[in-house]
Structure 1
Amino acid sequence: MPQSTSAPDKPLTLTRTRWEDTGIRFFPFHVVLGVSLAIPIFIFMRKSMADPDIWWHFRNAQYLLAHHRFPLVDEYSFTAAGASWLPHEWLSEVFYYFAFRVAGLRGVFFLALALIEAIMLGLFYIAYRKSGDIKNSFLATAFAVLLATVSIGPRTLLFGWLCMLVLLNLLRKLEDGEEIRIWVIPALFCLWVNLHGSWLMGMVVFGIVIASGLVEGSWGQLDAVRWAPRQLRRLLITAGASLGALFANPCGYRIVFYPFDLAFRQKMGINHVDEWMSIDFHTPRGKLALIFLLTIILLAVLSPRRWKLNELLFVFLGLYMSLTYVRLLFLGALLITPILASHIKLLPPYQKEIDKPALNCVILTTALVFLLIKTPGPAQLENKITSVYPVRAVEYMKSHSIRGRMLNEYLWGGYLIWNNPDLPVFIDGRADIFDHTGVFKDYMAAVSIQDSFAILDKYHVNLVLVSPGSATSYLLKNNSGWNIKYQDDMSVLFEKR
């Protein structure tokens, strides 16, 4: 009896309905990933509105717009009054001040949120363009978001990191052989120097890209390709033009040299301000940085993809800066994330055929509803400020016309400058002028109760505003020469008898 023969198996193919194709177009997977990055940034931002420096940035911008000239000497403190001051972040200050004038604290919240979202989503884009792998780019960027929490908040630094992101994308295009308008780079540095002093790191990054093309060869897993003479000439001219563009600022060479002043002269600020400390691996953020470091080591050992010389130098720079200064974990994330994305293969590649537009739609709708519900109102933002600053003490001092020479906590100085401008502060977040004048050193001696009364006498201090649990508070409570003028759970105001 003859056996029946069956047709050979055909490969299984997935066919899509017209609705599914439309759904993918309107609810694409990469948008879902982008929103998945945006949500945690939004959550972190809700908790990080109380940046101590934003207040004196407001005051600087207010002064500029009211007097049509830059504040070039200190007018906010009695300890460094008249000391030279550089408006090295003036343009960022104006943007934040306008946001505040238009919509109050909500305006500041939305501006800072827009900046950090643009940076992280832009980083996601660069990682994807470099690696061609949307899923692993998302994974690398999600880790970068965690590292970036060190600078989430209304900070002028965010404008600097946004400029860094633009530079990295331009350099990526250059590396990939895409045509770019090379004049954009000097224009970027001209803008950057007026926004924030982090332009110096941009120059270092640009220099690394140029230097990496001066040699050619292969060493183990490392490759380098020499620039063509025409390319190198264009890059060197662009670098020279970028250096020249830095001097297009209100104070010329002084603002250009400011980052070097910070690095080599402002020792008290570098040694005592938390964000300038080296990474502490005992903290959650330190453990994240350690995971970041170990991941890079594993990639170097296990990844089959070869390394480019500029990638290796970016990793060295990013790790050095991140581990040396907590503040620069953000920079490390910007430099290393695209490289990380191109080496890791922890997730399978994206397949359009198995995309689920209905699920994408549900996720996007849920995210939108969450954002609408959780967006903080003015009262919530004010409550956040009240939980961090001596709001009620300031109201008391204003209502009772308290005047004098007051020692205040470092992190409260900016708030006092903006909210009680008639009472000059002892110190605030403008660490440079207080470092140069010796005030910062005296302040540290006073609050560490090493030589408190001598410092108070030196500056003729008759008022002290500190937190109730501070060492200074304990010292003055147990000294008959001082009495408590006002106290609440956030602050205590002492007056000299």
Structure 2
Amino acid sequence: FFTLWLYALEKIRRGEDRLIWIFPATMLLWANMHGGFLAGIGLVLIYAFGELFNRKNSLKYFGILALIIPVTLINPYGLNLWNYIIEAAIMPRPYIWEWNSISLSGPFHIYKGIKIHILAGFMLFVLFTLIVSINLWLQREKPDWTRIILVAVLLYLGINHQRHTVFFMLAASGLFYHQYLNLFSPVERFIKNKIAAKAYKIWQPIKYGSGYLLLGVIFIYSRPHLSDSIIVDPFVYPVGSLEFIKQNNISGNLATTFGWGSYAFWKLYPQCKVLIDGRYEEVYSNDVYAKAMQFSEHGKNWQNVLREYHSDILVLPKSVYTRSDALSLTDWKIVYIDGVSVVLLPKNKVKPVYIDPDYRNPLYWKEDLSKEVKLN
């Protein structure tokens, strides 16, 4: 939707007002599919004020806003949807990395031993946009305030919240496509001078077709990796601990960290209920979330959370909780340890013998995403 709206807004800037119908029509879908429709409203606002600063007709953009905002109320929750959207938009999410600001210290992908920053593509777009901006300034181009404000706002949002980098890349690649190409014109001239005219004619379709060829290669390469199963890293997730709980048919309220909650929910439902999982703001109240994070992050008086929510099973991360922390729970006993976690049960519920799965067995790493989950 964001890309479509960006395209339509650029067309409207060129006088194609017949495309205005796209906004209320697609907003009806967007508002009922994802809370990101707020980005669409922000996009139209930027164009409205940008064109105002450009001393051009901005009324049609305010008219678009007048059309789309009432459409957002056509949803199962009516006006109450906005209460949630506003809360979600300003809610701090310090424990979710994609909502954190960009850090040059990582995270990284490791490709054949080479560390590549996970946001290297975004950084490349920022570099290209900076070079293009300097070139336009040196050429004394009349400032286009719409583009300036749009790029500045999206760059700020991308740096402050990693998940928003995609908006900057979509906008920059669309708005500065020709300027990006001009950056490589010296390379094109070099090729043209070095090869014969006939060969250069062949080079032209190769140049434009290489993008599609690259997409095809990526698709063919990715196809074998597209399956209904995934491999869970036993040195990142508590594969052994959850397998221990599953195989020994241990049920009840499971307390584990926020980062492991969704995996535990997937692996053990309906055998166990989890303290918190990735649906937190949609399912859990702010109070429950705060208490769950108090336990998850080894906060002060974390033991009180276990008592308040009547925990029956604990899966503690060894990277956060020490052995002395586990032993401080005098009514609990360690019954299993894997590569990253320990399982504790109340002493009065511990059995003399348990099945002891080997978390290093690759059989336990595989999860079938096509399995049927029966909901109660």
Match of 1:411 among 259, 264, 273: 259
Using the TM superposition, give the Cα deviation of residue 369 of structure 1 relative to its aligned residue in structure 2, in angstroms: 6.3
Partner letter of residue 262 of structure 2? G
Using the TM superposition, give the Cα deviation of residue 388 of structure 1 relative to its aligned residue in structure 2, in angstroms: 5.3
| Rounded Cα–Cα distance in structure 1 between residues aligned with 2:322 and 2:94 | 21
> What secondary structure is seen at the aligned counterpart in 2 of 1:257?
helix
- The answer as to 2:110 corresponding to 1:280 is no
Could you give the per-residue CA deviations for residues 401-424 of structure 1, whole angstroms, max 9, x where no partner exists? 212222112122223333322221
Partner letter of residue 72 of structure 2? L
Using the TM superposition, give the Cα deviation of residue 386 of structure 1 relative to its aligned residue in structure 2, in angstroms: 6.5
| Rounded Cα–Cα distance in structure 2 between residues aligned with 1:346 and 1:359 | 15
| Rounded Cα–Cα distance in structure 1 between residues aligned with 2:120 and 2:47 | 30
Partner letter of residue 402 of structure 1? I
Q: Is the CA contact (8 Å cut-off) linking 1:318 and 1:336 kept in structure 2?
A: no
- Give the equivalent residue in structure 2 for 1:455: 305
Q: Is the CA contact (8 Å cut-off) linking 1:447 and 1:472 kept in structure 2?
A: no
Partner letter of residue 226 of structure 1? K
Q: TM-score, normalised by structure 2?
A: 0.72
- The answer as to 2:276 corresponding to 1:427 is yes
> What secondary structure is seen at the aligned counterpart in 1 of 2:224?
coil
Q: Is the CA contact (8 Å cut-off) linking 1:280 and 1:286 kept in structure 2?
A: no
| Rounded Cα–Cα distance in structure 2 between residues aligned with 1:362 and 1:285 | 24
| Rounded Cα–Cα distance in structure 2 between residues aligned with 1:320 and 1:359 | 33
> What secondary structure is seen at the aligned counterpart in 2 of 1:382?
strand
Q: Is the CA contact (8 Å cut-off) linking 2:234 and 2:339 kept in structure 1?
A: no
> What secondary structure is seen at the aligned counterpart in 2 of 1:261?
helix
Partner letter of residue 462 of structure 1? D
| Rounded Cα–Cα distance in structure 2 between residues aligned with 1:250 and 1:410 | 29
Partner letter of residue 313 of structure 2? L
Using the TM superposition, give the Cα deviation of residue 169 of structure 1 relative to its aligned residue in structure 2, in angstroms: 1.1
> What secondary structure is seen at the aligned counterpart in 2 of 1:470?
coil
**Number of aligned residues:** 320
> What secondary structure is seen at the aligned counterpart in 1 of 2:315?
strand
Could you give the per-residue CA deviations for residues 21-61 of structure 1, whole angstroms, max 9, x where no partner exists? xxxxxxxxxxxxxxxxxxxxxxxxxxxxxxxxxxxxxxxxx
- Give the equivalent residue in structure 1 for 2:161: 325
Q: Is the CA contact (8 Å cut-off) linking 2:232 and 2:239 kept in structure 1?
A: no
- The answer as to 2:72 corresponding to 1:246 is yes
Match of 2:149 among 308, 313, 322: 313
Percentage identity across paired residues of the two chains: 22
- The answer as to 2:329 corresponding to 1:496 is no
Q: Which runs of 5+ in 2 are unaligned?
A: 107-116, 193-199, 348-376
Using the TM superposition, give the Cα deviation of residue 454 of structure 1 relative to its aligned residue in structure 2, in angstroms: 2.3
- Give the equivalent residue in structure 2 for 1:53: none
Q: Is the CA contact (8 Å cut-off) linking 1:314 and 1:336 kept in structure 2?
A: no
| Rounded Cα–Cα distance in structure 2 between residues aligned with 1:361 and 1:262 | 42
Q: CA 1:357 to 1:184, structure 2 compared with 1: closer, same or farther past 3 Å?
A: closer
Q: CA 1:395 to 1:238, structure 2 compared with 1: closer, same or farther past 3 Å?
A: same
Q: CA 1:385 to 1:190, structure 2 compared with 1: closer, same or farther past 3 Å?
A: farther
Match of 1:202 among 37, 40, 55: 40
Please list, as runs of the form range in 1=range in 2, the aligned pairs for 1:126-275 lying within 5 A after superposition.
Answer: 163-178=1-16, 180-215=18-53, 224-227=54-57, 232=59, 234-264=60-90, 266-267=91-92, 270-275=93-98
| Rounded Cα–Cα distance in structure 2 between residues aligned with 1:317 and 1:456 | 43
| Rounded Cα–Cα distance in structure 2 between residues aligned with 1:208 and 1:358 | 38
Structure (1 or 2) with the greater helix fraction? 1
Q: TM-score, normalised by structure 1?
A: 0.56
Using the TM superposition, give the Cα deviation of residue 194 of structure 1 relative to its aligned residue in structure 2, in angstroms: 1.5
Greater shift in the superposed pair: 385-394 or 482-491: 385-394
Could you give the per-residue CA deviations for residues 144-170 of structure 1, whole angstroms, max 9, x where no partner exists? xxxxxxxxxxxxxxxxxxx11111111
> What secondary structure is seen at the aligned counterpart in 1 of 2:252?
coil
Partner letter of residue 300 of structure 1? S
Match of 1:353 among 201, 211, 232: 201
| Rounded Cα–Cα distance in structure 2 between residues aligned with 1:366 and 1:334 | 19
Q: CA 1:373 to 1:241, structure 2 compared with 1: closer, same or farther past 3 Å?
A: closer
- Give the equivalent residue in structure 1 for 2:109: none
Partner letter of residue 330 of structure 1? V
Q: Is the CA contact (8 Å cut-off) linking 2:332 and 2:344 kept in structure 1?
A: yes
- The answer as to 2:316 corresponding to 1:466 is yes
Please list, as runs of the form range in 1=range in 2, the aligned pairs for 1:53-132 lying within 5 A after superposition.
Answer: none
